[in-house]
A = this chain, B = another copy of it.
């Protein structure tokens, strides 16, 4: 059985869990102990020298890091990834958008707000993170106007990847009022078959 090395409160790990649940693939979840630097043990670094969760263990000795690469691998040949080359490339476009223009702002703001002390010096980063995060949300709002999902009006791993931290933007302090199309899309994702919410056990 496949194993996921992850952290339940991480959106990047939640993406993998949501995809596995919706694809009805059996898996075992291995919670990594972040309090004790669990991504820097020799065993973990042998799976991912970049010391980040999640890692998918396809079989013992065969490991794949990077949440969006894992999504692509799991979705290949399923309804969560179109087979037509341009549509596939558009799914990848949004996965790269997520990792470059979205996650580094919204996920990092959420981390600072939710998991650091209220007087932590990293709170000084919040204004810039919020500004860039709002830019990403505005791009999503523009794209989703008149569309049901990100690519070809069909639910795909592009939606899973972007849902993970967008649905948590409010707890990161983002006012979502200016984004009605994004808010409607969040509800649409939550109504897809097999949807599971973030956190909690698998």
Contact = CB atoms under 8 A, between A and B. Distances in A.
A145 to B, nearest CB: 10
Contact of A70 (B52, B67, B85, B89): B89
B92 A72 contact: yes
A65 to B, nearest CB: 6
A187 B3 CA distance: 38
B97 A72 contact: no
A101 interface: yes
B58 A97 contact: no
Interface residues of A, number: 33
A24 interface: no
Given A69-B92, A69-B93, A100-B100, A62 B50 contact: no
Contact of A89 (B50, B73, B89): B73
Closest 10 A-B residue pairs measured CB to CB? A73-B89, A69-B92, A66-B96, A69-B93, A66-B93, A49-B142, A49-B139, A99-B100, A50-B139, A69-B89
Decide if the interface of chain A is mainly helix, strand, loop or mixed: helix
Interface in A6-62: 49-50, 52, 58, 62
Residue of A65, A72, A93, A103 with most partner-chain B CB within 10 A = A93
A154 interface: no
A143 B49 CA distance: 8
Contacts of A68: 92, 96
Nearest to A102: B50
A69 B96 contact: yes
A76 interface: yes
A50 B92 contact: no
A171 to B, nearest CB: 22
